[in-house]
Amino acid sequence: MTKEQWLAIKNADKSYDGKFYYALKRSKKVCRPSCRKAGCTPERVILFDTLQEALDRGYEPCSKCRPDKESWEGSRKELANAAKRLIEERYAEKFSLDTFAKELFVDKSYLLRTFKTFNGCTMLAYHNRVRCERAKELLQRPELPISYIASETGYISASHFTQVFRRETGQTPSAYRREYLRSLDV
């Protein structure tokens, strides 16, 4: 192992990904140079020129850095996307960080930080955004009362729904509906 290769591993340098692979001798997991592994010292590391070479020697791809996935962006990105999907599937349910963290097998604060890093907003803000987008679809149907739409999108009361909708869109649900119906007449 060269000093340059060790520094790439030690500093988790992404620019070396694909140029070589490394594994901790005891773990039998092969990683990209950008993967951070605890207990990583030069004596414990074995290098491979290719991923296939490591696989042929009995090493398995690391589940954290996924060297076997070419366009994979990392376990944190995958976690953020999984949380996003859960919110989109369950937008009408009460937001529960505890439930999401348990289902995704991670710590709550780690989940919050990861989600915000990859999505640019908090999980609760995204939850409200998804609810309001669904509400916009329902508001295009004039026969549906606003109280019904509030309930369908998971709000306990029409007043809370109106408050959140106004904060997200800049207008009340009634104003949004009027504007939408006016646009159809044009």
Domain regions of the chain by residue span: 3-61, 75-121, 126-185
Reported pTM: 0.64
* Lowest pLDDT segment from 19-33, 40-54, 72-86: 72-86
Neighbour count for residue 113 (Cβ, 10 Å): 13
10, with CB counted inside 10 A (0-12, 13-18, 19+), is middle
What class has domain 126-185? mainly alpha
Same fold, 3-61 and 126-185: no
Pick the more confident residue, 184 or 170.
170
Superfamily of domain 3-61, CATH level 4: DNA Methylphosphotriester Repair Domain (3.40.10.10)
Token look-up 């990904």 returns 17
Residue 77: what pLDDT? 84
pLDDT level of residue 15 (50, 70, 90 thresholds) = confident
Residue 42: what pLDDT? 86
| 134-177 tens-digit pLDDT | 999 999 999 999 999 999 999 999 999 999 999 999 999 999 99
Please state, in angstroms and rounded to a whole number, the distance separating the CA atoms of residues 123 and 146.
25
**What distances in angstroms separate CA 108 from CA 40, 100, 124, 127, 168, one per listed residue?**
27, 8, 13, 16, 25
- Indicate the average pLDDT of the chain: 90
Nearest to 5 by CA among 55, 40, 54, 52: 40
Please state, in angstroms and rounded to a whole number, the distance separating the CA atoms of residues 178 and 174.
6
